[in-house]
Structures are given as structure tokens and as C-alpha cells.
Amino acid sequence: MSEQHIQKLQTLKAIAETLNEANDLEEMLDAVLKQLIHVTELECGWIFLVDKKGSYSLVADCELPPALTWENKQPMCEGDCWCLDRYNDGRLQRAANIIECKRLEDAIEEKWGDTKGITHHATVPLRAGDEKFGLLNVASPNKTHFTNEELALLEAVAFQIGTAIKRIKLVENEQKLALLAERNRLARDLHDSVNQLLFSLMLTAGGAKEMTTDGRMKKTLDYIQQLAQEALQEMRSLIWQLRPQGLENGVASALMNYGKMLGLNVEMDIHGVIDLPSDVEECLWRVGQEALNNCKKHADVSTVSIFITVKNKQIKMEITDKGCGFNYSDEEMPSLGLKSMKERIEAMNGTFHIKSAIGKGTTVQMMIPLKGERAK
């Protein structure tokens, strides 16, 4: 067996062991890339993960030249390049030998720093079956050609990485399902225990109030009954947050039912039909819950309007009340609840805005981009 074949087997073995043990995606990619660069005696490499919309992120890199690390790796995090263009339009299916690096050309033109003689790189898609995840790129100074054996090794490693990425994503999905199951169990326990106790307390206080003629005792029991009623409503709200009844019928139905539970009349206006991804639907549900809670507690209204529209591969939702309003600026969120709403939407690559003024009501606006194949 030739030395080259032995090296290839050693590379695949070392990388397979790393991929087998890894549970954190970015740590795994960083470790595997460093192993690959070390064993193949190449100079540098980097990995892009690409989502289904074509947006990319630099998730791992090794020994990048100064020209590509300029301004906190800005050349690697912005703009387009030929390998990503070929990947997104379907032309890049296997390891490519060789692609001139547009990012390096731009770095030379803009004088961002030393390229260490690197002008070209090999590129290979990361995939598992028909599912694609991103790109693996490797390069060395003055190297403008990779042999067929080198490309075959890169393809083998890329396939292992793609399979590991899919495994980690499946594990993450299982963890989400397990968390959902635990939330449902907790919701059932709260309903069957604490919720029933609060209801019994409210009835007991009401019954005791009818049995006494002492005025002060009546007031005390009335206060206890009122507190139990408020606690019962808070508990029902908590149970809804843990396990929203009706979300299986869509976020619009769930929000209308939640508003009804709060004692609000929700006027719903929907334009467009969409089969929402579960993560988008839950995000809108959680933000909508918080907005309706704010309407109940602070706006002093009985009617709330919700407008949902699907257009241009994005979903928009507006929740409006004609209540007392408040002073607001985008620079400073007035409450933790509003900050949490904003963070939830932005975590989905969406945008979140609030329009409000004293005496003029409040409108909460949110937009979340959708994958093209989900829109109808």
C-alpha cells in the first residue's frame, strides 16, 4: 500500500473519530477542519454553512491569511463569491479543481493585507444524500491544482462531515420534541393539581362568605376569593403558554382562543394561505401571547385587532389596540417582555417594531421571512 493511501486512511480515521464523538456543530467543524489541514499539509481552510435561502455564515476557519481576517474577518462574512454562486445555482455538485478566489482578489484590490501567496482554493459541497449544508474550502500558497486523489479525499471527508451535520440536527430536533413533551407533562400536572386547588379555594371562600354575618370577615373572604380568581386566571395563562390548546388548528385560532381566555375580543384579519413551519408558528404564538397579555394588563381595552398577511415569501403580523398607549422608542425597550418579543423575532431573522403614543394606542408589528417552498 502506497504512502499516499496510508495517509488517506489515517485522515479518514482521525476525522471519523472526531465526527463520531461530536455533539456541538461549530466545535465539530472547527476540530475537523484543523485535523484536515494538518494531515494533508495544506495551509488554510474554511467552512461555510448555507441555509435553504442561500444565506451563508462562516462557521470554521483555520490559518486564514491576513487579507481574509481584515476587520474581524469581514471579507469572509460579507459579499458573494464564485463558489457560493455555483453552490446555490446547483452547478457545484462535487469537489472542484480549482476555483479562483474572488474574496482574495477583492482583498488584493482593496489592499486588506498579505494573502501569503494564496490565490486559488479547492471547494467541495457538504451533503448527506440529497440534502446540502454548505461548503468546505482548502488552499495553500501557490497551489493552483489538486490531484484527483486529493479531490477524492476531500469528497470523502465532506461526505462524513455532511452526515455528521445531519446527525446533530436530528439530535437537536429530538431534544426539541423531548422539551415539548416535558412542557405538556408540566401543563397537565399544573392543571390537575394547582389549578384544581385554586378553584376549590375560590369556591370555599365564596361559600364561607355566604355563611357569615360578620362584615369584616365578609370583606376578608371576598378578598381571598378575588385573589384566588386572579391566581386561577394566571395559572390558566401559564398552562396555555406551556401547552397552547388549539395551536394544532393554526396560530390565528390559538391567538383568538387565548384572547377569549383573557376576556378580550380578538378581531382577526388574514390575507394569504400558508403552511407555517413549526418554529415560525411557535414564535408568532409566543410573541402574540405576550402582546395580548400586555393589552389585558396595560392597555385598558376589551377589543384587539390582529392582522396576518403572507406576501413575498414572508409573513407579517400586526397586533393593534386603541388603548392608553405609552411613550416608546426603538433605542430603549421599556420592559423585559417587549425585549423578549423582539429577541424572539430577530432570532428567526425577522424584524420587530412598536408604534405607540400616550392616548393613541399601540401597534406591534413583526415580520418573519419564509422559505420559498412553504409559501402557497
pLDDT in tens, 201-212: 888 888 888 888
* pTM of the full structure: 0.54
CA 371 – CA 173 distance, rounded (Å): 18
**pLDDT, position 15:** 77
Burial of 186 by CB count in 10 Å (0-12 exposed, 13-18 middle, 19+ buried)? middle
Bridge partners of residue 351, in order along the sequence: 367
What does DSSP say about strands 303-311 and 265-271: parallel, antiparallel, or unpaired? Answer: parallel
CA 291 – CA 236 distance, rounded (Å): 17
**pLDDT, position 338:** 86
**pLDDT, position 322:** 92
Q: Which of 61-75, 108-122, 174-188, 288-302 has the lowest mean pLDDT?
A: 174-188
Q: What is residue 111's three-state secondary structure?
A: coil
Topology (CATH level 3) of domain 245-376: Heat Shock Protein 90 (3.30.565)
Give yes or no for a contact between 111 and 16, defined as CB atoms under 8 angstroms apart: no
CA 365 – CA 352 distance, rounded (Å): 6
CA 208 – CA 210 distance, rounded (Å): 5
Whether the per-residue pLDDT at 366 is higher than 50: the answer is yes
Distance from the first to the final alpha carbon of the chain: 57
Mean pLDDT of 99-119: 88
Calculate ∠ Cα 336-340-344, nearest 5°.
175
With residue 7 as reference, give the H or E element that holds it.
Answer: helix 3-21
Report the CATH number of the 3-173 domain.
3.30.450.40
Q: Which H, E and C letters describe 242-278, residue by residue?
A: HCCCCHHHCHHHHHHHHHHHHCCEEEEEEECCECCCH
**pLDDT, position 136:** 94
Q: Which three cell numbers stand for residue 97?
A: 479543481
Whether the per-residue pLDDT at 168 is higher than 90: the answer is no
**pLDDT, position 131:** 87
Whether the per-residue pLDDT at 254 is higher than 80: the answer is yes
Mean pLDDT of 142-148: 87
Looking at residue 188, its amino acid is R
Give yes or no for a contact between 42 and 140, defined as CB atoms under 8 angstroms apart: yes
From residue 285, alpha-carbon distances to 163, 210, 320 in Å are: 33, 42, 15
